[in-house]
Structure 1
Amino acid sequence: YRLEQRPPEITQALNDVFWLMFVGIVGTLVVQALVLTTATFIDRSDPPTFPRWFGYFNVWYALLAVPGGAVVIFNDGPLAWNGVFAFWIPLGVFSVWAIATSMVMLRSISAEEAAQKPLTTRSP
């Protein structure tokens, strides 16, 4: 990192590229949420791997995260990289989604481990 050896324009351009990649990655997160939604709704096992509310939650997460893709188009306003619709709402929803997904996954793993434990036989 030799900032003094680089023109400020290059540093600014690389900083802009980073922020566009960081905030503009919403498309992959939306696809992930829709895949989890599909997996939740087509699962017919008993008990289901994911609760149905998690599928609906992923739909809402995907819908509320979509405006984050607008950061590559707008320079200012609510759809800019620091705007309420493109950054703050998706950030808040992502935070809730990450916590909910972690909880659902941990419960699913625990349920699967419990189902795979061999039945213990009773000793006389």
Structure 2
Amino acid sequence: MSEREDFLWQRFFAACALFFVIFTFVGLEVSWPQPPSFAWSAEQTAAYYVEHQTGFLVGVVLCSIGMAFLLIWTVQFCLMLSRLEGGSRAVTAVTVASLAASPVLLSFDLAVFGVVAYRPDRISPDITRALSDLAWLGSQHIWPMLTVGMALAGILILRTQGRPESFPAWLGYFSLVVALCEFGQLPIFFFKSGPLSGDGAAAWYLATFTWGPWILAAGWSMYQILGRLQTNRSAESRHSVLQ
């Protein structure tokens, strides 16, 4: 593979941040009904899935595709961080493990959502509610790993300013802020209603509407950095030929 082709692939992988946001936003916020109240009875929960069955199933498919793009983007993001770190690259290794766990674990949660919405009118409402709780709370309980990955990425970005492949400092600070926002999901197992419950403002909306913009911002920065590096490499190659 030529150097030009390698850069094209890497820029495509960086652009996967956009594809992830598009598929996940349409699946999760357009097709997919928002979280039902965790204080509902089993019958109310089952009726919710019966009423919104098609929306859930379409959302599961779209979000599952989004997870594939997220995993691709994560690998590219951490590859670029590893170039900055140098040395043992231990921070990058922990970061990639922390961030890559999210699309993998979320894919399993999406499968559970699919099972819940598959035949909600033919199984016990208690089973439907139990599986619903498993899927919703399980998808949110990845927050500790996300927090670690975002925080380490932010620290590494801020500590490596001034290098040719550096990410902008604002992304480092943004990473730390988003990492703090993930703590809004800490109390989800202690509340069934209100802002601290799984469907509340702190746990659901704060995390959802900061995670996506962070990935989009990082992907845009990656795309620009790769474009700049490609231009510099081309200029260096032409200079070598002239000499």
Q: TM-score, normalised by structure 2?
A: 0.45
Structure with the bigger RCO (C-alpha within 8 Å, sep 6+) is 2
- Does the C-alpha gap of structure 1 residues 109 and 69 become closer, same or farther in structure 2, counting only changes over 3 Å? farther
CA-CA distance at 1:76 after TM superposition: 1.0
CA-CA distance at 1:48 after TM superposition: 4.4
**Does residue 93 in structure 1 map to residue 210 in structure 2?**
yes
CA distance in 2: counterparts of 1:38 and 1:16, whole angstroms:
34
Aligned to 1:31: 148
Q: For structure 1, list consecutive stretches of 5 or more residues without a partner in the other structure.
A: none
Q: For structure 2, list consecutive stretches of 5 or more residues without a partner in the other structure.
A: 1-117
Answer yes or no: is the 8 Å Cα contact 2:165–2:229 preserved in 1.
no
Residue-by-residue CA offset, 1:49-79 (whole Å, 9 max, x unaligned): 2111111111111112211232122111111
What percentage of aligned pairs have identical amino acids?
25
CA-CA distance at 1:44 after TM superposition: 5.0
Aligned to 2:69: none
Greater fraction helix? 2
CA-CA distance at 1:4 after TM superposition: 5.5
**Does residue 64 in structure 1 map to residue 191 in structure 2?**
no
Paired residue secondary structure (2:237): coil
Residues 37-56 of structure 1: pairs in structure 2 closer than 5 A: 37-43=154-160, 46-56=163-173
**Does residue 13 in structure 1 map to residue 133 in structure 2?**
no
CA-CA distance at 1:39 after TM superposition: 1.6
Equivalenced residue count is 122
Aligned to 2:197: 80
CA-CA distance at 1:42 after TM superposition: 2.3
Q: TM-score, normalised by structure 1?
A: 0.83
Residue-by-residue CA offset, 1:13-38 (whole Å, 9 max, x unaligned): 11110000112222221111112112
- Does the C-alpha gap of structure 1 residues 7 and 27 become closer, same or farther in structure 2, counting only changes over 3 Å? same
